[in-house]
Structure 1
Amino acid sequence: MDVMTDHPSRPHAGHSAQSSGAAPTGDVDGRFEAVVYSIEDYAVFLLDRNGFVTSWNRGARRIEGYEAEDIVGQHFSRFYTREAVARNWPTYELEQATLTGRFEDEGWRVRKDGTTFWANVVITAIRNRRGELTGFAKIVRDLTDRRRQMDALRQSEERLRLLIESVNDHAIFMLDPTGQVVSWNSGATNIHGYLPAEIIGRHFSTFYVPEDIAADKPRRNLETAKRRGRFVDEGWRMRKDGSMFWANVTLTTVYDADRRLTGFAKVTRDMTESRRRDELERSGQRMRDFLATLAHELRNPLAPVRNAISSMQMEPDVPPVVARSRDLIDRQIAHLSRLVDDLLDVGRITSGKIELRQALVNLGDVIGNAIEAARPFTAGRGQTVDVHMPVQPVMLRGDMTRLVQVFQNLLHNAAKFSPADSRIAIDVEVEARTVEIRIRDLGRGIRQEALESIFDLFTQERTGQDALDEGLGIGLTLCRSLVELHGGTISAMSHGHGTGSTFIVRLPRGLGEPAEAPTAPPVSETPDAHLRVLVVDDNHDSADSLAMLLELKGHDVRVAYDGAAALDQAERFVPHVALIDIAMPKMDGYAALRVLRRRPELADTYFAAMTGFGQQSDIALSREAGFDMHLVKPVDPTLFDELLSLAAKRQAARQTPSAR
């Protein structure tokens, strides 16, 4: 195979030993040609200057499917697809090989039987000693199997991409080695709020809250992932709209074949609801037990005091000292009742039974109302509240009543643990997506290790002083729950004992339509009727004070201190109204009601349960037992008026004959 000599422009078939399919023999060139001829893994053959086949080896016969006598003298374009021939690709290959000396290509080629295979083709220009082009050497490899593997890999990668893209409840995205976002799935959009065009190319620290950024947490997380290969974390993250969510984050390092770091795979799950459920499971049982007993025990002593104050308020011309004392007691009763309401609110929140009435609210109005609500406490200690807010109104989307409750509790907390005549500061700073409210006091401070635990239910920071003034440990828990329901966060800062404390509330800045104001229930008018009323309560003070109040209203009242006495009194007295305590020894209110309901003479009696238990389940249970009304101690005097009005109307209806 003399590649350095001239060849005819188009030889006839069978002009050489190779062309006839016989293995060449003889000299060195003959041995070389014999080696080329015997190769079966590669199609190796020669073309003349115009692209006609001049030699053919076993590999060419195996790969292309032609015998030598069938193909030698034919143009090599017959190995190409119709589409390639139509765009003159074979000629282009020869032109490029002539210009550069070598041309390499991959593409589909056609066998004799019409089947196609994926070929790697190398065409080398052959020149004589004078540098004149005499033809081309062509080597062809069948890479169909590799192509199938590559196609399978691409399909697998595409399926994986589509799978990742279809995941809606996990944020799955890639970071480059510096932490810049380079890919983004639909789950990431759902969780973080960004569209791909808004976040790709930005640093992943965008998702972190300011405190974590200040602590260099994003960089430290990447460094930990580099060292360990994988890093798992949980914490607060920030959405595009400024709201926060509790995230479970997994960072995994990604390397190439040479073990060079190419980036990180990041998977984020929104665990806010799961975290809330975990908290419910941890504190649920003890909270239910605590609320069931404490709320009842708090309401019972409040009831007679409220009844006594209501009686005193009906007395005209009382001395000024008595009036001031009466009003002071009334305010403290209202404070204690608010404490019980806070307990019940904690129960509703942790059981998921509280709803926010969200509207567009002015933060200035929220803080102003909170200061007014806390003023009796702060003024009593000679404390002043300084407010620093932006000149422009700061609008939030939230529940006005609940937000006022949050800041009132925080002010109450700051005042309680601060010296008399001190100052409390409220600083408001508006950020791009959030608003930050800081409540600073000059009080006794908080230990570093307690900065998180003080938000746990029934937990207080104990210092050995003012132990009786520390409360039940529900106010901060309620604040945290209400703030998180608004999509915000609350945290505490302090440098320790004697340094004061700062509580930081961060809320998202959002827009929304104001909710309609709740309508007040109609007030029932008490008819001028003289009713027989039976009061049943094992707490003598509660029973006697209520009897005194009802007598002042002009009614005939009897008192029974247990269930058995109630049965005896009812038989002789035949009341129009019976107010029955539930939790009585020996015979409770339910048992007493069952007996009383069976007596025909009491068919028109209006029965009301009177108890310290006020959960929805308690109200449903009393209605199921047959009570007409459920009153929660301490009972608002207007509810007594409503009860008496309903009982009087029932009596009037019974006494009027039905129209025929």
Structure 2
Amino acid sequence: MKKAPAGADGPAAQASPREAQASAPSDAPYRTLVESVQDYAIFTLDVTGHVSSWNKGAARIKGYTREEILGKHFSTFYTPDAVARHWPDAELKAAAELGRFEDEGWRVRKDGSRFWANVVITALRDPDGKLIGFGKVTRDMTAQRRTAEALRQSEETLRLLVEGVKDYAVFMLDPAGNIVSWNSGASYIKGYRRDEILGRHFSVFYSPDDIAAGKPGRLLEQARRAGRVEDQGWRVRKDGSLFWANVTLTAVYDESRALRGFAKVTRDMSERRRNEELERSSQRMSEFLATLSHELRNPLAPLHSALAAMRLAPGNPALADKSLSLIERQVTHLSRLVDDLLDIGRITSGRIELRTGPLEFNEVIALAAEAARPSLEAKSQRVAVQTHAASIPMHADRTRLVQVMQNLILNASKFSPAQTTISIVTAVQKRTLLVQVIDQGRGIAPQSLEDIFNMFVQESRPGTDVQGGLGIGLSLCRALVELHGGTIAAASAGPGMGSTFTLRLPLPVAHEAATMQPPHAAAGGQASIVLQAQRILLVDDNRDAADSLAMLLEMCGYDVTIAYDGVEALHVAPRCRPHIALIDLAMPGMDGFEVVRAMRGVAGTGQTRYVALTGFGQPADRQQSERAGFDAHLVKPVELETLFGTIARLQRPE
């Protein structure tokens, strides 16, 4: 047998261990890297799940030394319940089938303590694809889980807190304003269940006027720009009732500053608002009673003194005359105080009635000035009247108009220096008499120009104003003027600049009836014949206003039927079959809106055109009457030219 050549197949031909190590890639650096990692447990399992390698991180996290754990099954690290349900075997099976399996759960250390682990098991295969074991990486996530659990509990606590709040409506809106969350307080305050309101726009809580004005969208935009906006106002519940709300709207952004939506907190402040109103009313009443006591005691003191003087000197005629004059003035003053109080009571309870008749307004001014003469003479003041005409005939309550003018003169005298002049100027604008009472007194602050007409209100606090007064004179003036269908307003350039009170009263046209014709009646007489054929139903609960307007319309050729309330209007409409229905809006019981809706179903009103009569003339008021079905909207006091023009327009075929 021949020997094989050297370097062929014999031992001499095999590489030495050093040469083999040098020729193959060394895995020593990788072993060193894995071995030194301490934040992760990195080890291998054989195909049956027994531990075959172990790094320092595994020893630190799980508590076993290399010698203690090598060869043991990795189920050692699992809780008894996980072992009982064969969860370790299931993990290996999943890793073998999928190549990789990840899990989180409780694991057990050598000392029996538990930790929350993130586990990744990777199947290891040889170049031929044969499974040779598993690589396992475990990370201790206990601290992170504890933090996450604390956050979750905090969020849950906050959610339960928000959900349990009953005094506040707390909910979320998406960026468009749609509701995405709803707490029990929101249900309690606004009346909607969660399933009824989620997904709806939050404008459902606002009044029609607020919606028309774009308030909901404006609040969202303000919150978007400023981050937060606060508002107070009336809001609407599910049942349509209103409540006074304090609302906070806060924009919510994510980490990238993208708008996530809005947090909305609403509180029902109705009770607080009522309490504040009651408190203000109580304070005002207390101030009024204090003033009333002061005003009643003031005349009692000179009365007592005058009577005592007369008793001490019974035979002194000069003293008796002086005392009697003083007593007469003070009794008159007391009588006026009592009369004003009684009149206010009658007006507020709706029991006052005007006793109208023909009068001369220049005579009213003269009577009022004469009644105010003692107060004027006490301060050496005079009244200067500049009238536009020698005669101003009217149809009104003489006593009440004298009362109004006397109050205005006394008010001007009270707040004007001695030896000044109070001017009264009259003028006519169309069918309205303008009367101005102008003084040179202390003036009125701009914020008080409207308040001074409120009950028991004075610009100065009671007890600090040497002029005194109950604070009801101007309120009484306004009420009496409005009963006549007029208006009263105050103007002033400011404190120390004097004041002007402007009175507007409707003028009658009875003295012009012989020559007056409705518009368009002069052209050949044709339009006049058509107008005279018009049947008009006049509906107004103010009998004097209805009777006087009916008289004017009849004098101009109209056939007028009067109804003093809505029910009567529905009763007479089928009989009179009106072409035009003039309807007052503010009537007790059945208002004008209800009347026009009901009349559309009444026989004989198929061709009727409806005109609203009201003291309100804002755009929103006109829109409301139009929506109710009125064909025209006229503001009291109505100018006759305007009224005739409206009737003529409505009678023309469209």
Compute the TM-score of the two structures, normalised by the length of structure 2.
0.46
| Structure with greater Cα Rg | 2
Compute the TM-score of the two structures, normalised by the length of structure 1.
0.45
